[in-house]
Structure 1
Amino acid sequence: MKLRRFLYGALLTLQAGLVLTGGAVRITGSGLGCPTWPECTPGSYTPVPHQAEGQLHAWIEFGNRLLTFALVAVSLAILIHVLNKRRRDLRSLAIGQLLGILGQGVLGGITVLTDLHPLPVAGHLLLSIILIAGAASLYSRREYSARPRTDLDKLTKRISLLHIGLTFVVIILGTIVTGSGPHAGDEKAQRFGFDIRVVAWLHADAVIALLGLTAAFFILVRSDKELVRRIGVFTAIALAQGAIGYIQYFTGIPEILVAAHLLGATLVWIAAWRIRITVTKTLVIQ
């Protein structure tokens, strides 16, 4: 049981870690530290001494690539475990993780080959967000079977769907802000070209709308202790994330706050998805 918890927890941690290491690549300007794909440099899959991009940038980018191999190994182990235990209810989630991770590798290659165009960079993050949701579902159901929850009314389920949807929209708008801001991963990388102030305001407005919806959601389910607890966790993380966003905007978007904001976005999404799981599924011990 402990090994199972470790394995499924490792998948979720590594999926979140891929977002953070990707952010490290961007804020250190290491996006083209390995200028080719799937090789790091022509003729070598690893960084080589004295390459033009510099050893630090090369190893930061290469470290991000290595994390993908770790994810492949863990996702394969989970798929084998799911098949061995005949967990048909988890089969699609496990297969989806493996295929998604392989897709990340391809999308990462497209990102490099297009010289860090902001569209594949944004797609890289959004695919990670989807895979994090899948990994969180696997972790929550590792020892349980899931049945549709039938004790909640239609309004609660609709508000829950709107809540997770708006959270995803907030993250999409965040990628547009990032694609319009200064931390592109390389000095020559293309930007979206939007006014950073306008897209940042739109992003902030969506966050405010999300917090308002969360308050309404809380009032609606206040008699459900588990949902109240999870909405409370989400609210605390979202408020901290909003504070970081405003501070980084008014302080010129320093790198350390960009990294903190990426971490916050990942935690906000996991908290939101855990609410969604609680609304849609009843977990029963196997």
Structure 2
Amino acid sequence: MSTTTADHPATGRGAAWKEAWRDPSLHMQRTLAMVLLLCQGGITVTGSLVRVTGSGLGCNTWPLCHEGSLVPVEGAAPWVHQTIEFGNRLLTFVVGVAAILVLVAVYRAGRRRDIKALAWISLGGVVLQAVLGGISVLLDLRWWSVAVHFLPSMVLVWVAAMLYMRLAEPDGAAPTRRYPARAQHWTVIAAVALCCVLVTGTMVTGSGPHSGDSGVGMDGRLNLDTKVLAYVHAVCMYLYLISTLITAVLLHRTGAPEDARRTSWILVGLILVQWAIGVTQFRLGVPRWTIPAHIAMSSTVVAFSAFLFSHAKRRLPTLV
């Protein structure tokens, strides 16, 4: 008696996957891009867990975990610290795989040049981040090396968010302005303010109590008043909030497309949540549990800022 592919579900699924990869659908491309975006944001949260648990030197060298060993070594450091730091390093490979899958998908689908460029930046950024993370370990987590490791992650979140949006656009269409130029100018001003927020935020962290490793203490920390830096950080945040509010109002008054207006108001709400977390940190003396939440919201805010920015000009389907 003969059998068909349908008689063997595993074989059928394998054939279906092979066929899907031969010419990835738009849905598949965007799903992979969303996975990449979540990975880029997620690894910043696991990185913050490394910091608040003092596990930054759980693996004290790079690319090995310890001298002569790729994996944790019993007794070389507390096992909890080794597990957290080594786990965070392994997640880099997960992000890398997601970036590779996106790159392969857009090439096999024959997408346009700017989409391929964003996919290459995402993959190259993962490699760069692995190197920067290793350098920060070799420098015993000096504050500026940790900042240099964190800030590119925010850039990669922005790139992944832009990639997710651009993938939805037809390649053959021309870019169309979807809201007034003055509103777009305010999105640029907001983006600049966001950069200032992120940079000053790393400075606040660099002068604060959480060095990333319990044995480092305040050695290599930023020798500036944390309270003053927190006020500077807050001013930058208010400028970012105000410029985003102005953008949202302009979009509302000029009758911009609903998706752009909705994104702007969601972003305003996210900034307010981030503000509340920041105020809580300041009032409570930066308790450990608030840091992962603050970092997670940073990635979320950056992603929605990129969404809003990308709404300004989009390639729309041609109506027949």
- TM tier relative to shorter chain: over 0.9
SS at match of 1:255: coil
Matches within 5 A, 1:101-120: 101-120=126-145
Q: Of 112, 135, 153, which aligns to 1:88?
A: 112
Aligned to 1:185: 212
Aligned to 2:271: 238
Q: Deviations over 1:34-54 (max 9, x none)?
A: 001000011111112222x21
> Once the 2 structures are TM-superposed, how far is the Cα of residue 141 of structure 1 from its aligned partner?
2.6
> Structure 2: any 5+ residue segments left out of the alignment?
1-24
Partner amino acid, structure 1, of 2:195: F
Q: Which range moved further: 33-42 or 88-97?
A: 88-97
> Once the 2 structures are TM-superposed, how far is the Cα of residue 254 of structure 1 from its aligned partner?
0.5
Residue 72 of structure 1 pairs with residue 91 of structure 2: no
Aligned to 1:279: 312
Contact conserved, 1:157 with 1:280, CA < 8 A, in 2? no
> Once the 2 structures are TM-superposed, how far is the Cα of residue 154 of structure 1 from its aligned partner?
2.7
Aligned equivalents of 1:198, 1:111: Cα separation in 2: 26
Q: Which range moved further: 249-258 or 219-228?
A: 219-228
> Once the 2 structures are TM-superposed, how far is the Cα of residue 151 of structure 1 from its aligned partner?
4.6
Aligned equivalents of 2:89, 2:240: Cα separation in 1: 34
Aligned equivalents of 2:141, 2:260: Cα separation in 1: 40
The structure number with the bigger radius of gyration is: 2
> Once the 2 structures are TM-superposed, how far is the Cα of residue 259 of structure 1 from its aligned partner?
1.4
> Structure 1: any 5+ residue segments left out of the alignment?
none
Aligned to 2:291: 258
Aligned to 2:80: 56
SS at match of 2:311: helix
Matches within 5 A, 1:64-213: 64-89=88-113, 90-145=115-170, 147-187=174-214, 188=216, 189-213=219-243
The sequence identity of aligned pairs, in percent, is 35
Aligned equivalents of 1:142, 1:8: Cα separation in 2: 8
SS at match of 2:289: helix
Aligned equivalents of 1:176, 1:242: Cα separation in 2: 17
Contact conserved, 2:169 with 2:314, CA < 8 A, in 1? no
SS at match of 2:276: helix
SS at match of 2:75: coil
Aligned equivalents of 1:148, 1:119: Cα separation in 2: 39
Contact conserved, 2:178 with 2:314, CA < 8 A, in 1? no
Number of corresponding residues? 284
**Aligned-residue RMSD, C-alpha:** 1.6
Aligned to 2:9: none
Q: Deviations over 1:152-179 (max 9, x none)?
A: 3332221111111211211111111111
> Once the 2 structures are TM-superposed, how far is the Cα of residue 235 of structure 1 from its aligned partner?
0.8
Aligned equivalents of 2:90, 2:260: Cα separation in 1: 37
> Once the 2 structures are TM-superposed, how far is the Cα of residue 283 of structure 1 from its aligned partner?
4.4
Aligned equivalents of 1:284, 1:69: Cα separation in 2: 36
* TM-score normalized with structure 1 length: 0.94
Aligned equivalents of 1:109, 1:282: Cα separation in 2: 40
Q: Which range moved further: 117-126 or 153-162?
A: 153-162
Aligned equivalents of 2:83, 2:206: Cα separation in 1: 23
Contact conserved, 1:141 with 1:283, CA < 8 A, in 2? no
Aligned to 1:215: 245
Q: Which range moved further: 1-10 or 174-183?
A: 1-10
